[in-house]
């Protein structure tokens, strides 16, 4: 079955999984006042979440293989290239998913195992199989699955859900549309060719630009809530203000410019934004 480990690592979408694990880790850290977290839920929680996330990513490769073969940025993925067959990718996904679930259920807690499994089934099946092909609001509705890692990290440590953890989920949930729609503007022709009903394809680029700006402003407000409710302090407030002002700048430049390169620039900054925002939140928590 295993021909080339690098091809199977590509199936896991490691960059995406890494960002998920960073937000999950911050969720773990914010659930505790201690800098030294219990090693077992920390290590096995991140491992289990990572394996299940990789499992969902592999399923995504199989379901999207027709679209991936059309789009320039994905046509070299292992499944459309024939380096890994759909059957092999599914077997690989089942192995990762089963291992991840067992690790969470046996070595962390059942709540985290069930939440992670349902979250990533939502991404791999509900979003990828249905929403992505059914509605231009696909990324808005389906974005909840990708926003869950901080909650999963929190439950891994505490065994229970919290309003603070759900606030972290809300930040990523609101971040997701401007993040993906900016890329969709840059890849407009490819999404159109692949017949994927992304917002720029169904409602036009100008409507999408306005929507990105609106969500960016909403994100500005939502990302300040941790400070407002006393969950985070002044370090986070200053960092969040700076990051959000820059994000709004990118959204405005994208809206005013005719050059779609600003779509890619906004997309790239959005990744930096989320990564740095959660790192600042982490630092602030211990300061």
User: Do 8 and 131 share a structural domain?
Assistant: yes
Strand, helix or coil for residue 48? helix
E strand segments, 6-141: none
User: Do 271 and 137 share a structural domain?
Assistant: no
Of 141, 160, 179, which closes a domain? 160
User: Do 282 and 195 share a structural domain?
Assistant: yes
User: Do 181 and 72 share a structural domain?
Assistant: no
pLDDT given for residue 14 in this prediction: 87
Cα–Cα distance, 78 to 86 (Å, whole number) = 10
User: Do 197 and 57 share a structural domain?
Assistant: no
Closest alpha carbon to 32 in 17, 45, 50, 16: 45
DSSP string, 202-260: HH-HHHHHHHHHHHHHHHHHHHTHHHHTTSS-HHHHHHHHHHHHHHHHHHHHHHH-S-T
* Four-CA torsion 218, 220, 224, 225, nearest 10 degrees: 10
CATH number of the domain within which 75 lies: 1.10.357.140
What tokens does 140 get?
Answer: 């808005």
User: Do 73 and 61 share a structural domain?
Assistant: yes
In this prediction the pTM is 0.91
Domain count, the chain: 2
Of 160, 178, 201, which closes a domain? 160
CA distances from 156 to 22, 55, 72, 126 (A): 14, 19, 38, 24
Q: DSSP character for 123? A: I
Q: Are 198 and 191 a contacting pair, CB within 8 Å?
A: yes
User: Do 234 and 114 share a structural domain?
Assistant: no
pLDDT given for residue 184 in this prediction: 92
User: Do 154 and 174 share a structural domain?
Assistant: no
User: Do 134 and 173 share a structural domain?
Assistant: no
pLDDT given for residue 1 in this prediction: 46
User: Do 166 and 28 share a structural domain?
Assistant: no
Cα–Cα distance, 284 to 88 (Å, whole number) = 44
pLDDT given for residue 12 in this prediction: 84
pLDDT in tens, the chain (287 residues): 445 778 888 888 888 899 999 999 999 999 998 888 999 999 999 999 999 999 988 988 888 888 888 877 778 888 888 888 999 999 999 999 999 999 999 999 999 999 999 988 887 777 776 666 767 777 776 778 889 999 999 999 999 999 999 999 999 999 999 999 999 999 988 888 878 888 899 999 999 999 999 999 999 999 999 999 999 999 999 999 999 999 999 999 999 999 999 999 999 999 999 999 999 999 999 98
- Domain span at 150: 1-160
User: Do 221 and 116 share a structural domain?
Assistant: no
pLDDT given for residue 129 in this prediction: 67
User: Do 250 and 282 share a structural domain?
Assistant: yes
Of 160, 177, 203, which closes a domain? 160
């Amino acid at each position: 079955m295993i021909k080339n480990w690098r091809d199977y690592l590509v199936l896991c979408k490691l960059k995406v999984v890494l960002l998920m694990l960073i937000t999950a880790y911050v969720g773990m850290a914010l659930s505790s006042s201690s800098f030294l977290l219990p090693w077992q839920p920390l290590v096995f929680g991140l491992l289990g979440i990572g394996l299940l996330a990789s499992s969902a990513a592999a399923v995504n490769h199989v379901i999207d293989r027709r679209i991936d073969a059309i789009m320039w940025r994905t046509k070299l993925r292992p499944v459309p290239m024939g380096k890994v067959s759909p059957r092999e990718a599914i077997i690989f996904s089942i192995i990762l998913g089963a291992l991840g679930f067992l690790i969470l259920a046996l070595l962390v807690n059942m709540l985290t195992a069930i939440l992670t499994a349902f979250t990533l089934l939502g991404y791999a099946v509900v979003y990828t199989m249905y929403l992505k092909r059914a509605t231009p609001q696909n990324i808005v509705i389906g974005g909840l699955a990708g926003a869950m890692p901080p909650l999963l990290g929190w439950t891994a440590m505490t065994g229970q859900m919290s309003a603070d953890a759900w606030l972290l989920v809300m930040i990523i949930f609101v971040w997701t549309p401007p993040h993906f729609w900016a890329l969709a503007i840059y890849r407009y022709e490819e999404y159109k060719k692949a017949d994927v009903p992304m917002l720029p394809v169904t409602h036009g680029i100008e409507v999408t630009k306005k929507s990105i700006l609106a969500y960016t402003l909403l994100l500005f407000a939502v990302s300040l809530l941790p400070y407002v409710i006393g969950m985070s302090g002044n370090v986070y407030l200053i960092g969040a203000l700076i990051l959000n002002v820059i994000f709004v700048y990118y959204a405005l430049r994208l809206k005013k410019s005719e050059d779609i390169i600003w779509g890619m620039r906004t997309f790239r900054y959005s990744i930096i934004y989320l990564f740095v925002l959660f790192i600042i939140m982490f630092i602030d928590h211990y300061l």
